[in-house]
Amino acid sequence: RLCRAMDWQVLTRELSLYLESQVRVGLFGSGVGLSLVLGFGVAYACYYLSSIAKKPQLVATNDSFCHFLEEYCPVVTETYYPTIWCWEGRMQTLLRPFITSRPQVQYRNELIKTADGGQISLDWFDNNDSLYYPDASTRPTVLLLPGLTGTSKESYILHMIHQSEMLGYRCVVFNNRGIAGEELLTPRTYCASNTEDLEAVIHHIHSLHPSAPFIAAGVSMGGMLLLNYLGKTGRDTPLMAAAIFSAGWNVFESVESLEKPLNWLLFNYYLTTCLQSSISRHRQMLEKLFDMDLVMKARTVREFDKQFTSVMFGYRTIDDYYEDASPCRKLKSVGIPVLCLNSMDDVFSPGHAIPVETAKQNANIALVLTSCGGHIGFLEGIWPRKCTYMDRVFKQFVQAMFEHGNKIFSM
């Protein structure tokens, strides 16, 4: 028995050395190694083309809206080819901030006062060199809402502004209170459910340019806030349309997904520390109302929201806040055309929680659901430094609404 074991070890070692030499030599000699590489490449390509690269699912019950998107925003009906070496949702989410470029944008900052004595920082890209819209009074305006701890410096915001610049539009970035370097004048920050600051910003921008067509685009929590605003106002808004990217539709499902061990390790803990960092600079102001030592001990977004966010905005429990913050509850009341892009593999917004059936009950809603893309990822191309699929959806939809929006319900 011992001899047979020794013979098996020798045979295994010799077979391993033989295969290794064949692969090494085959690349330049016999062709065995090259055949293996080519075989793997063909198999991977077949898998990618059959299971990864797919057309997005377009959910819209309004035939006019569908035809409008097919004609003026064709990217939502075309096959999305994720980056071939980085198509998994977590990888897309993690790598996008490091891979994508950061276009240079010169902002004009404005601080506006709020009714409660606070202040909001707006970063304007006026695009005064616009060739298509030289008249500033009628130059189309895009309001951009970044994610949970995001500002006007985020790469996805910079790319949206770059796309808008080429089309001749003006952009305004709404930075949530205390997040973009300005001081907190009151012990209040922001949350996904309270739309008072957003209402003030929209009113302010519209009052400055009442003759300019006006659209908003929100990303992640910015998209949730925008949806909650639209659900609250219905048709009573100066916005003519909105675009939503990677919104968390059901906050309960989002935090549950983020609390799974791997997702907590990759995203939840880091996001929690970012939230804590965003308020630590304002500790002297905030500790008038909060036990900041307890807030700083949070290790999940849920714990942070329980000790800080829900308390700040007067919710009895964390569940009350999460219920009010979930846009799926207000989708039926949206009164203007809205395009929503989500990836089914987004751990921040699980595919099973996307309100497909609810969206079908509102003629103003169109969902674009990709199989891959992660959270604010949507990388494409071999080396996705520049334009992403999300950027192309943004550009085509905004251009379609500004230039052909009057046709949307007449087709």
Rounded Cα distance between 96 and 81, Å, is: 16
Rounded Cα distance between 189 and 119, Å, is: 10
Structure pTM?
0.90
State residue 5's pLDDT score: 38
State residue 15's pLDDT score: 40
Per-residue pLDDT of the chain (411 residues; tens, 9 = 90+): 434 334 445 434 544 444 345 444 444 445 677 778 887 778 888 888 888 999 999 999 999 999 999 999 999 999 999 999 999 999 999 999 999 999 999 999 999 999 999 999 999 999 999 999 999 999 999 999 999 999 999 999 999 999 999 999 999 999 999 999 999 999 999 999 999 999 999 999 999 999 999 999 999 999 999 999 999 999 999 999 999 999 999 999 999 999 999 999 999 999 999 999 999 999 999 998 999 999 999 999 999 999 999 999 999 999 999 999 999 999 999 999 999 999 999 999 999 999 999 999 999 999 999 999 999 999 998 888 888 999 999 999 999 999 999 888 665
What's the topology of domain 75-250+327-409? Rossmann fold (3.40.50)
State residue 18's pLDDT score: 42
State residue 31's pLDDT score: 65
Q: Interior CA angle at 325 toward 320 and 330, to 5°?
A: 110
Q: Break the chain into its structural domains and give their ranges.
A: 75-250+327-409, 251-325
Active site residues per annotation? 220, 346, 375
**Are the CB atoms for 100 and 90 separated by under 8 Å?**
no
State residue 13's pLDDT score: 54
State residue 410's pLDDT score: 61
Which residues have CB under 8 Å from 148's CB, separation 6+? 220, 221, 271, 274, 275
State residue 11's pLDDT score: 38
State the chain's mean pLDDT as an integer: 91
Distances from the Cα of 102 to the Cα of 99, 128, 160, angstroms: 10, 21, 11
